Amino acid sequence: MLATIIHAPRDIRVETVPDPVLSTGDDAIVRVVAACVCGSDLWPYRGITPTREPHRIGHEFVGVVEQVGAKVGRIAVGDFVIAPFYVCDNTCLNCRNGVSTSCLHGGWWGVDDRKGAFADGGQGEKVRVPLADGTLVPVPGGVADAQVPGLLTLSDVMGTGHHAAIAAGVRPGDSVAVVGDGAVGLCAIIAAKRLGATTIIAMSRHPQRQELAREFGATHIVAERGDVGVTAVHELTRGIGADRVLECVGTKQSMDQAIRSTRPGAMVGYVGVPNGGPELPVRPLFDRNVGVNGGVAPVRGYIEELLPDVLSGAIEPGRVFDLELPLRDAADAYAAMDERRAVKVLLRP
Ligand SMILES: [Zn+2]
């Protein structure tokens, strides 16, 4: 089969690799219907994280189950399934506590699972899925082609935007500022609106993303950053700052922007992967009773909750995909996202 391999920074190749095989009894083989490139895939692409040897890549995919192991009971051949960006059993203590990203038996795509069997990367034609009953979520009924992009966002970005809103405690009537206009930031706007926020401020400098932000529910756009951006948010929130701020970037600047945009007593929900590790200014947080809550999004636990709204069209996170390419053009997909020609690229095997 074909799969995407990163060899070195800016060296993405689609190559022939061995077909996956069942090996642990609790696994499944999924034929990938759609996969995509994540903002975090750009880190090795840009050389920010090292690539010591060529390896498989991609962690967001949906597809159809082709085979299941003898111990699999919840997932059946023929199911259309959503895979979260990690492997989990969905039954251990951490999973039951809502932190399936810390599953005691979990793992990641593109590396060996805990039993030493390979779990393929998501950007390929097929994937061996460990712990299939826990990891995969079947979609009831038939799936129309037009529904595929929306379902694919439940693999990562929509669940991650939702996690930011949950971590920040968004409630009906809240004012919410969203820092970051990538796919996660745009999905965070959807999530804030879905949870009842009435003032939603998108911090974005890009006209096309501003337009999508408005269509997703943003009531205001703030294009400025730094002191001017903070002042603009305060002016839109009765002069005191936003009730909730969703940080969807992960840099020192974005965390600073988020914290300073809050009102006293507010909460920042952060899901931007901390790149270089922004440190929290504890004394200003203390003085203003501002909290910071969040982390790597346990999206597996959100799929069932968000799925009906995606299927009904009540929310349309699939619109974050503004470019679709065949899998063999994965290198072009990375380049398009790296050069910000695309918000998010969908790959079709
Ligand atoms: Zn678990």
Does the pLDDT of residue 198 top 90, yes or no? yes
Q: How far is the CA of 100 from the centre of ligand 1 (A)?
A: 5
pLDDT of residue 226: 94
In a shared domain, residues 86 and 107: yes
Among the residues of the chain, which ranges form H helices?
Answer: 42-46, 93-96, 132-135, 148-153, 157-168, 183-194, 207-216, 226-236, 252-260, 282-287, 300-312, 330-338
In a shared domain, residues 28 and 18: yes
Q: How far is the CA of 89 from the centre of ligand 1 (A)?
A: 4
Task: Supply the mean pLDDT for the chain.
Answer: 97
Q: How far is the CA of 300 from the centre of ligand 1 (A)?
A: 10
Q: How far is the CA of 304 from the centre of ligand 1 (A)?
A: 17
Q: What are phi and psi of 165, to 5 degrees?
A: -70, -40
CB atoms inside a 10 Å sphere around CB 50:
9
Q: What are phi and psi of 280, to 5 degrees?
A: -85, 135
pLDDT in tens, 227-268: 999 999 999 999 999 999 999 999 999 999 999 999 999 999
Nearest to 86 by CA among 111, 67, 66, 116: 111
Does the pLDDT of residue 99 top 90, yes or no? yes
Q: Distance (Å, rounded) from C-alpha 39 to C-alpha 123?
A: 14
Q: How far is the CA of 130 from the centre of ligand 1 (A)?
A: 12
Query: What percent of the chain has pLDDT above 90?
Result: 95
Q: Which CATH number do you get for residue 131?
A: 3.90.180.10
pLDDT of residue 313: 97
Q: How far is the CA of 135 from the centre of ligand 1 (A)?
A: 9
Q: How confident is the model at residue 60 (pLDDT cuts 50, 70, 90)?
A: very high
How many domains are contained in the chain? 2
User: Which of 294, 310, 340 is at the close of a domain?
Assistant: 294
Q: How far is the CA of 99 from the centre of ligand 1 (A)?
A: 8
Q: How far is the CA of 291 from the centre of ligand 1 (A)?
A: 27
Q: How far is the CA of 137 from the centre of ligand 1 (A)?
A: 15
Q: How far is the CA of 41 from the centre of ligand 1 (A)?
A: 24
pLDDT of residue 275: 75
pLDDT of residue 279: 87
pTM for the full model? 0.97
Could you give the 3-state DSSP secondary structure of residue 216? helix
pLDDT of residue 200: 98
In a shared domain, residues 167 and 278: yes
Cβ–Cβ < 8 Å for 124, 4: yes
In a shared domain, residues 269 and 332: no
pLDDT of residue 271: 97
In a shared domain, residues 207 and 279: yes
Q: Distance (Å, rounded) from C-alpha 89 to C-alpha 105?
A: 7
Does the pLDDT of residue 276 top 90, yes or no? no
Q: How far is the CA of 266 from the centre of ligand 1 (A)?
A: 31
pLDDT of residue 32: 98
In a shared domain, residues 91 and 196: no
User: What is the rounded end-to-end Cα distance, in angstroms, of the chain?
Assistant: 10
In a shared domain, residues 163 and 284: yes
Cβ–Cβ < 8 Å for 176, 199: yes
Q: Distance (Å, rounded) from C-alpha 337 to C-alpha 41?
A: 10
In a shared domain, residues 278 and 145: no
Does the pLDDT of residue 172 top 90, yes or no? yes
In a shared domain, residues 305 and 276: no
Q: Which CATH number do you get for residue 198?
A: 3.40.50.720
pLDDT of residue 320: 97
In a shared domain, residues 167 and 81: no
Q: Which domain holds residue 55?
A: 2-156+298-348
pLDDT of residue 68: 98
pLDDT of residue 14: 98
Q: How far is the CA of 108 from the centre of ligand 1 (A)?
A: 13
Does the pLDDT of residue 277 top 80, yes or no? no
